[in-house]
Structure 1
Amino acid sequence: MRLPDATEPPMRLPDMPLHDPFVVADEPPRTYHLYTSNVPSVSGVDGTGTMVYRSHDLRDWTRPVVVFLTAEQEGIWATDGAWAPEVHAWDGRYYLFTTLHNADRPLPVPPPNQWGVPFRTPTHMRGTVTAVSDSLLGPFTVLDPARPVPPERLMTLDGTLYVDPSGQPWMVYAHEWLQTIDGTMEAVRLAPDLSGTVGDPVYLFKASDAPWTAEQIPAGVPHQLPPYITDGPQLYRTPDGSLLMLWSTYEKNTAGQDGTISGGYVQTYAVSRSGDIQGPWRQHRPLVRDDSGHGMLFRTFDGQLMMILHRPFENARGKLYEMELRGHELEVLRRRDDLDGGG
C-alpha cells in the first residue's frame, strides 16, 4: 500500500473526493483521521476499499493512505461497494464498518405486500461487514468473509456501531428502500467481538415518519408511490441523556415530467427522549439541505462539537459545521467555510 510522501504539499477539502465522511479524533497525537471510500486516482492504489486522510487542524490534510482493500480479503462474499466506512475503538482494537454488495448474488424476490411492497422488486446481497486492526492506519482484516453482519436475506447498508448503557454493542443500519419502498432504520445486537449478531433485528423507524417529507409532495402527482430512503445513521448521546440519530434521506419537492417525484439529499436527525435505542423516535426538521448529507458528529481537540457531511451527492466534497446541543435539540451554529473552502 502506498505511503504518503512527507514532502508533498497538504491537501484541502475542496480538492479531496469525500463521500460518506467519517472522522476519528485521535487524542494523544491530536490527529484527525478522515475515512472515505478509496479513490485510486487520489490514493495511488487500485481497488475497492477504504482510505484515510489525516490532519492536525481540519484544514491541511495528508494525501490518503489505503487501509482496507476487498481484494486482499480471502474468500470475501463481495468485492464491490466499500461505502460508508467508519472506524470505531472497541475492546482495545479498531473496527472498520463498511458496506459491500454483490450484484451476482440475487436475493429471493419477496411476494407482493411483504414488507409493505406492493410489487416485486429484484434485489441482491448488500450489507455491512466488520474488519479489525490494531492501528487506525490498518490494514483491516474482515472478521467474517462469508456474509454481511446484518441478516443476509435483507438488503441493508451504512451500518454503524452503537454501545448501549449496559455495554452491549449494536449495529444500527438502513434497510434498503428497494426491499421496503419506505426505507427503515433497524438495529441488531452484536457479538462481543463484533463479528456477528445476537438475536433478531429491531425496527426503529421508517423514513416517511419524518413529517416534513409529506409536506413537500407536489400537487398533481397524487397516485405515485414515492420511495422513501434511509441513509447514514450515526448515534450520539446528548447531555440530557437522550439518544440522537443523524440520518439522511431525499426531499420530495420536485415533480418530473414523467410523473416521478424527486429532490435533493438532505441531512436530518431523530431523537429518542427515553435514551433507549428502541425509542420511541421523534423526527426533527432537516439540519442542512442543498443536496447534503451522510453527516456525523465529532468533537475537536478544543471541545467544539462539529458535523462533517458531503455535498453534493455526486462528486462529493466534505463540508464542516460548528454545532450546538441544547438539551436534545441539535442546531447548526455556523458553516466553517474557512476550513472546507465554501461551496
Structure 2
Amino acid sequence: MIKREDIRIRDPYILVDEQAGCYYLYGTTDETVWSGPGTGFNTYRSTDLGQWEGPFPAFRPEPGFWADHHFWAPEVYFYKDSYYMFASFKSDDKRRATQVLIAESPVGPFEPLIKEPVTPAEWECLDGTLHIDEDGTPWMVFCHEWVQVRDGKMCAIPLTSDLSEAAGEPITLFAASEAPWAVAGGDDKDVYVTDGPFLFRNQAGELLMLWSSGSKNGYAIGIARSESGKVEGPWKQDEETLFPEDGGHGMLFRSLEGSLMLAMHTPNNQPEERAVFIEVIETNGTLQRKS
C-alpha cells in the first residue's frame, strides 16, 4: 500500500466504484511531465482515499501510437457498459490533442477508441472532459491552448453517441481573460491560461464549471456559470476563486459516505505535486470548503 502523500501526480481524477466500495485515482503520472518520452498512465485503487494499491498500468501506448510525449490529464468514465478515458497527448509533428480510449475494466488496459483524436487537428488543445447534456447529448469540453491563441479559450464540441468522433463544429464558451480573478503572464504579460474544465450541476440545477488559470496567488480554481443551463452558455464568471492558492485542475466527486469532495493537485511545482481531497459544501449556489 502507498500513502496518498507519497504518490507524485498532477491533474488527479477520481472514479468512484460504489458496487466495489472503492476509488480509482488517475492523473498525469509520468516522471517526464514537461519533456522526454511519454510512458503512459497509471491508476491506483483505495477504499479510504488515504492508502492506495498500485500503481496499475492503465495505459501504455502500442507501437505506432501517434503521440510520444506530454501524456496529460486522463479522466475515466463508466458509460454504456464500458470505461472511457479522455486524455491529452502530443508529438513533434502533430498538435496537442485530446483522444478517447476504451477498456473493459477501470484498471485497463485502455486502447484508443479510434486512431485519431477528437479535438480539431489544427488546434493546440488539452484537458478534454465529458459532459452529458440534459437531453442525453455527449459533449467534450476542452481548452484551446494559450500557446496558440495567447488568451486561452474554453471550448466544447458535440460527440457521437459512442464518443468516438465529433458530431459538429467546436464552439467557444469563454476566454480566460473574462474571469476577473485571472492574471496575465508571459514575457509580455498577455498570456491567459485555461486548464482543467469540470462541469456539474448544483442543487438549484444550475450548470457550473470548475476551471483553472493563473491568479495573483498562483495557480487557482475558479467557477463559471451557464446562464442558459446548457453547455453552449453564455457563461458568466464568479468574482472569487474556489481555491486561490498554488493548486488547481480540480474535479468533484461524491465519497462513499456521500460527502461532496474536491480533488486537485497542490503545489503546482515539479516534483512536489500531490493529490489532495477536500470536503466542500454548497452555500447559496456556490461551493466552499467545509470548515
- Mapped partners of 1:190, 1:40: distance in 2: 32
1:154 equivalent in structure 2: 123
2:208 equivalent in structure 1: 244
1:110 equivalent in structure 2: none
Pairing of 1:1-343 with structure 2 (within 5 A): 10-39=1-30, 48-70=39-61, 72=62, 74-105=63-94, 125-145=95-115, 147-213=116-182, 224-251=188-215, 253=216, 264-284=218-238, 285-313=240-268, 314-315=270-271, 316-334=273-291
- Mapped partners of 1:302, 1:273: distance in 2: 32
Query: Structure 1: which amino acid aligns with 2:48?
Result: D
Which consecutive aligned stretches of 4+ in structure 1 deviate over 3 angstroms post-superposition?
A: 38-41
- Mapped partners of 1:318, 1:59: distance in 2: 10
Per the TM alignment, residue 243 of structure 1 is displaced from its structure 2 partner at its CA by: 0.7
Query: Structure 1: which amino acid aligns with 2:50?
Result: R
- Mapped partners of 1:59, 1:273: distance in 2: 38
For 1:188, what is the secondary structure of its paired residue?
A: strand
For 2:147, what is the secondary structure of its paired residue?
A: helix
For 1:193, what is the secondary structure of its paired residue?
A: coil
1:260 equivalent in structure 2: none
Write 1 or 2 for the structure with the bigger share of strand.
2
Paired positions, count: 284
For 1:321, what is the secondary structure of its paired residue?
A: strand
Per the TM alignment, residue 144 of structure 1 is displaced from its structure 2 partner at its CA by: 2.0
8 Å Cα contact 2:155/2:174 also seen in 1: yes
Query: Structure 2: which amino acid aligns with 1:332?
Result: R
For 1:197, what is the secondary structure of its paired residue?
A: coil
Per the TM alignment, residue 37 of structure 1 is displaced from its structure 2 partner at its CA by: 2.7
CA RMSD of aligned residues (A): 2.1
8 Å Cα contact 1:171/1:189 also seen in 2: yes
- Mapped partners of 1:277, 1:51: distance in 2: 30
- Mapped partners of 2:73, 2:125: distance in 1: 12
**Offset from partner CA, 1:152-210 (integer Å, 9 cap, x none):** 11100000000001111000001101111110100000111111101100110110111
- Mapped partners of 1:298, 1:327: distance in 2: 19
Query: Structure 1: which amino acid aligns with 2:49?
Result: L
Q: Which runs of 5+ in 2 are unaligned?
A: none
For 1:62, what is the secondary structure of its paired residue?
A: strand
Per the TM alignment, residue 277 of structure 1 is displaced from its structure 2 partner at its CA by: 0.5
Per the TM alignment, residue 225 of structure 1 is displaced from its structure 2 partner at its CA by: 4.1
**Offset from partner CA, 1:218-252 (integer Å, 9 cap, x none):** 9xx9x94420000000111112111111100012x
| Change in 2 beyond 3 A, CA 1:47/1:250 | closer
Query: Structure 1: which amino acid aligns with 2:264?
Result: L
**Offset from partner CA, 1:93-127 (integer Å, 9 cap, x none):** 1101110001233xxxxxxxxxxxxxxxxxxx101
Indicate the larger mover: 285-294 or 93-102.
285-294
- Mapped partners of 2:258, 2:210: distance in 1: 20
For 1:136, what is the secondary structure of its paired residue?
A: coil
Q: TM-score, normalised by structure 2?
A: 0.92
Query: Structure 2: which amino acid aligns with 1:75?
Result: G
Query: Structure 2: which amino acid aligns with 1:199?
Result: G
Q: Which runs of 5+ in 1 are unaligned?
A: 1-9, 106-124, 254-262, 335-343
Indicate the larger mover: 311-320 or 18-27.
311-320
1:121 equivalent in structure 2: none
- Mapped partners of 1:38, 1:181: distance in 2: 27
Query: Structure 2: which amino acid aligns with 1:89?
Result: F
8 Å Cα contact 2:30/2:71 also seen in 1: no
